[in-house]
Amino acid sequence: MGEAGVLEELDHAWIAKGTAGVRRALLPKYGSTLLPIHVARAIGAEGSVLTLPAACAAGNYALGIATDMIRAGKADVVVTGAAEMLQELQFSGFVRLAAMAPTKCQPFDLNRQGLILGEGAGILVLESEAHAVRRNASVLAEVGGHGMTCDAYHITRPHPESAGSIGAMRQAIERSGIGPSEIDFVNAHGTGTKHNDAAEARLMREIFGTRTVPISSMKSMLGHCMGAASALEAIGCVMTLQTGVYPPTIGYETPDPECDVDVVANEARRGKADIVLNNSLAFGGYNSVTCLARPGKLPAPEAAAA
C-alpha cells in the first residue's frame, strides 16, 4: 500500500477535516513506486526499477520477474523482494472483511477463524550463474521455474475449482524441468481462512495425487505480512533448503477432513529438502508459485542464483 506512514497521515487528515485538510505536498510521497526508487538511489543501481502491485503474491511475482530478467540477459544482478508496513487502514479493512482471527491463526485446522496481520520486508539478491561463478559467490539456492496466473473470479475468495492456482503450480514445476514427484516440501499460502485453506488443500491433492508432501504455513508464526508475505516465505524456503528443516504450522490442533494434507504440525520436522515450492494465492485471484532448489538439483538451464 505504498508509503504507509504518509497514507495514514492523509487518511487522518481527510477524516478530521475533509479534503481541504489534506496537505497536497504529501500526495506525491505516497505512491508504492517510490519504494524501489529509494532503494535504487541508496545502492546506486541504474537499471530497471519496477513495482508489482499484486497483493500478497507480490513478493513471488517480483522474484519471478527478476529471474526472467536475468535469463533474458537484461541484468546480471537484481535486488528483489517486497515490504509492507502495517497501519490502521489495512487493519480496519481486514476487520470489515471478517477475515481476522480473534485470537490466533490456525492454518488448515478444523477450527480456523482467519488470519493475523503482520508486517516486514524480505529482500533477495539474484544473479546469473555465470556472474556468481565469476565472483566466487557462495550460492544459497537456485530459482527454478515460476508460475503466474489470475483467476479474475472474486476479490477475496479463490476460484472454487482452483483452476488458476493449479495452473501456477504446474507452470512452476514444468518450467523447472521436473515432475511433482521431485518436490520435497511446499510452503503453503495458508492464511487460516476457511475458503482459502480448503481450496489450497484441494490444489495439493490435484497436483500430487495420493503422494504425501509435507506442507506448512509460515503465516502461523509470522502473521500475514501482506505484500511482503511471499518474499519473507521465499527466504524461509531458502533456509529449509540449507538446513533440511521444515518449519512448523503452529496452532494446529484438530485435523480438518477438507484439508487432508500432511501439515507439519506445531514442531519443525527434518527431511529431504532438495527442491521446494513457495505458494502465494492472493486477493483478486493473483496466483504466483516459485520453485527453489539447492544448487545443482535442477535440470533447468542457467538457474538464477539467490
- The residues that are catalytic are 56, 189, 224
**Contact (CB, 8 A) for 289 and 280:** yes
**DSSP notation for 91-134:** HHHHHHTT-B-SS---TTBTT---B-B--EEEEEEEE-HHHHHH
DSSP letters, 16-82, are HH-GGGS-GGGHHHH-TTHHHHHHHHHHT--S-------GGGHHHHHHHHHHHHHHTTS-SEEEEEE
Burial 258-290 (b: 16+ CB within 10 A, else e): ebebbbbbeeeeeeebbbbbbbbbbbbbbbbbb
Cell (9 digits) for 216: 506448512
Look up residue 278 and give its amino acid: N
Q: Which of 263, 283, 272, 252 is nearest to 90 (CA)?
A: 283
Q: CA 237 → CA 169, 196, 199, distances in Å?
A: 16, 21, 22
Closest of 10, 34, 7 to residue 22, by C-alpha: 10
One-letter identity of residue 152: A
Residues in CB range of 299: below 8 A, 6 or more apart = 176, 177, 178
